[in-house]
Structure 1
Amino acid sequence: MGDLKQTPLFNVYSEHGGKVIDFGGWALPVQFSRIGEEHEAVRSKAGLFDVSHMGEFEVTGEQAEAFLQYMLTNDVTKLKVGGAQYTVMCYENGGTVDDLLVYKQGDNHFLLVVNASNIDKDFDWLQSHLTEGVTLRNISDETAQLALQGPKAEVILQKLTDLDLSTLSFFTFKENVDLRGVKALVSRTGYTGEDGFELYCHRDDVVQLWNMLIEEGKEEGLLPCGLGARDTLRFEAKLALYGQELTKDITPIEAGIGFAVKTDKEADFIGKDVLKQQKEEGAPRKLVGIEMIDKGIPRSHYQVYQGEALIGEVTTGTQSPTLKKNLGLALLNKEHATLGTEVDVHIRQKVLKAVVVKAPFYKRNA
């Protein structure tokens, strides 16, 4: 694993029994205990994830907002200082460059958080469209990120800070929060379908922050969590993953995240014409949930048929730890995407029956 990129927490993984894998060129833990146990901890108590492999870009300057309005599908002008927004970068054909978060830190100061596998590609894409009055800086190497997720997340984090976390609503953040000597940007966001926080700090401080959270979370049932639980949690909540539900060939409308595509905003943006047409007329394909009728687990890229006709493919699939059912997300031709439609999933050499069901498969009680 010596040739893989490592986060500042790499040496801490072994203390908790972390099983490390190659994840897109990064040495990251897939699990610490068992994936199902970590999944359940986040649903019922709390889990702590190292997500320091994610990318962070700083966008500043007098034209920063106008630049982001053109580059991103959501309406950045709706953001107030201290607000965060889920958004997408698209190509002219509507295909996805990446999905990301944008934080408004000041009138001319924004933070973009991008997927780890896309850091270089995203930076080059933004750089190639850069205009006068905008400065773009890649601060990924100096920034670390933890995700503290689950119903007990607020109780645990509150032990480290005087900031009243109950005043922090969903998709808002505070900067320079003192977490027992560690300065962090504290954001009420996450990728699990649960309440929780994403904490951004300097890479030199993240081991201290991790250890404090692990210690303070013990009595609340906090577990360190790996990529395995991160994937099953986001899957149940139908949160798109770049490379599976979103690619250069899949538009955000097809992937079911049209809420992040504001085709009625005044500003032009890359991909607007195609995405506007798909919003108005319907996209040719639709991301749906499927539940296996026959025994088998649908996995990414398994083909989906109806009779002899190929109608789509599975983007993600697993046995749901919460529901104990074999479920999948599948991108299907829209005429075959209605609830209750029976389909055939080609799993290895077998043709197994499944049915189109409602997704997300899980929603927390707010």
Structure 2
Amino acid sequence: MTENNKNIKKTILYDEHIRLGAKMRNYAGFYMPLQYSSSLIEHMNVRNYAGIFDISHMGKFILKGEHSKNLIQYLTTNDLSKIRIKQAQYTCLINDKGGIIDDLVIYKISEKKFLFIVNAVNIEKNKKWINDQIKKYEYYNVELIDTSLKYSILSVQGPKSLFCIQKLTDIPLNKISFYHFEIGKFSKVKNVLISRTGYTGSKGIEIYIPNEYAKKIWNDILKIDNKIVPCGIASRNSLRLEMGYRLYGQDISEKVTPIEANLNWIVKFEKEFIAKKVLEKQKKKGTYKKFISFIVEEDIIPRHGYLLMDENEIDIGYVTSGVYSPILKKGIGIGYLNRNRKKINSVFLFIRKKKVPIKIVKLPFISIIN
């Protein structure tokens, strides 16, 4: 094992993944399952039945204190005042230039206590940024606690997911609204947080549990129904891209604002927040980057970094994410165009010195009825 490999973390379920024959890879500093059988089988199982993901690599922060809500309101773009206790909200943590430090989900545990689920690659960066702001604005009665390595998260996704795992809890899962959560007993474990959230677009829940119960609950779920399959990050990527969900580090970063990334719906200008004036200016005058989503007209899969060109083979943008959509049976992608160009009539994917036509479409790429 090399020195670099020694620094790669493992989730509590690492041995379970190996036992199930998963192909493992380094993802955001963690050994994660790429796939077990095949990414196509796993993708379709989530769309048609149910699959289970280990997403314990995600960061988990508790922010609590008298003025924790005020701090969150200022540092993020969405409006926290719009959600109630036992409700969650998707939002962006931005810097003073409007760049996206991270996209995250915030759970309102109480009026003075919030759970942050952040991207694994941004755990240390987020922690430093938030603590720096606590000191800067003298929120001395606000505390940030990093519980990332103490808790695991399991994500069960698919149209039959709630029906299958209902046997393990008395909480009526079908009555939990989207982006809401309940705390109760699951698989005989007390105080489990169960949320109606996910990164696939299909119906599903995410389960937050102390590490010591992760293996038990993982195996209890797999024992319920042999049609529930374990899934890796490859199928999670194709599932999220069919919905057009952004991936931090590829589709969004500190070099991109929420307005540029076409995440306007989570930017609430009726409240005060950091870099509000920057984003207001972008909304009014336009941005340098223009986010697009597209389908490839030929039998080609777009990949991260591929160039986008106009009819004159002038570079006008780039692909940030692309995959083969098992549902559409076509290549799909998202990326950015440079808006400082004249009107663009046609856009092409440039690959192997060839222009491949693409069709710009609205998100999501597919409609799901679960």
- Shared fold (TM-score greater than 0.5)? yes
Please state how far the C-alpha of 1:337 moved relative to its aligned partner. Answer: 11
| More deviation, 75-84/172-181 | 172-181
| More deviation, 353-362/37-46 | 353-362
Counterpart of 1:162 in structure 2: which amino acid? D
Aligned mates of 1:182, 1:40 — CA distance in 2: 33
Match of 2:224 among 213, 216, 221: 216
Counterpart of 2:85 in structure 1: which amino acid? V
Residue in structure 2 matched with residue 326 of structure 1 by the alignment = 331
Aligned mates of 1:240, 1:319 — CA distance in 2: 16
Match of 1:257 among 250, 260, 263: 263
Residue in structure 1 matched with residue 10 of structure 2 by the alignment = 6
TM-score scaled by length of structure 1: 0.94
RMSD: 1.8
Match of 2:172 among 138, 160, 164: 164
| More deviation, 173-182/34-43 | 173-182
State the secondary structure of the residue aligned to 1:211: helix
Please state how far the C-alpha of 1:309 moved relative to its aligned partner. Answer: 2.7
Please state how far the C-alpha of 1:182 moved relative to its aligned partner. Answer: 5.2
Match of 1:186 among 177, 182, 194: 194
Matched, 1:350 2:358: no
Q: Aligned pairs, how many?
A: 361
TM-score scaled by length of structure 2: 0.93
Please state how far the C-alpha of 1:208 moved relative to its aligned partner. Answer: 0.4
Could you say if the C-alpha distance between residues 244 and 160 of structure 1 is closer, same or farther in structure 2, counting changes exceeding 3 Å?
same
- Structure 1 stretches lacking a partner, 5+ long: none
Please tell me whether the aligned partners of residues 182 and 201 of structure 1 are also in contact (alpha carbons under 8 angstroms): no
Please state how far the C-alpha of 1:283 moved relative to its aligned partner. Answer: 3.1
Residue in structure 2 matched with residue 115 of structure 1 by the alignment = 119
Please tell me whether the aligned partners of residues 63 and 132 of structure 1 are also in contact (alpha carbons under 8 angstroms): no
Residue in structure 1 matched with residue 86 of structure 2 by the alignment = 82
Aligned mates of 1:177, 1:276 — CA distance in 2: 45
Cα deviation, 1:307-364, whole Å, max 9, x if unaligned, reads: 24321110111111111101211211348899x9521222244333323223221121
Residue in structure 1 matched with residue 368 of structure 2 by the alignment = 364
What fraction of aligned residue pairs are identical, expressed as a percent?
37
Match of 1:176 among 175, 181, 184: 184
Cα deviation, 1:126-164, whole Å, max 9, x if unaligned, reads: 011012220111010101001111101111221101111
Please tell me whether the aligned partners of residues 86 and 181 of structure 2 are also in contact (alpha carbons under 8 angstroms): yes
Please tell me whether the aligned partners of residues 298 and 357 of structure 2 are also in contact (alpha carbons under 8 angstroms): yes
Residue in structure 2 matched with residue 21 of structure 1 by the alignment = 25
Matched, 1:200 2:205: no
Residue in structure 1 matched with residue 241 of structure 2 by the alignment = 235
Please tell me whether the aligned partners of residues 296 and 347 of structure 1 are also in contact (alpha carbons under 8 angstroms): no
Residue in structure 2 matched with residue 271 of structure 1 by the alignment = 275
- Structure 2 stretches lacking a partner, 5+ long: none
Please tell me whether the aligned partners of residues 41 and 223 of structure 1 are also in contact (alpha carbons under 8 angstroms): yes
Could you say if the C-alpha distance between residues 149 and 309 of structure 1 is closer, same or farther in structure 2, counting changes exceeding 3 Å?
same
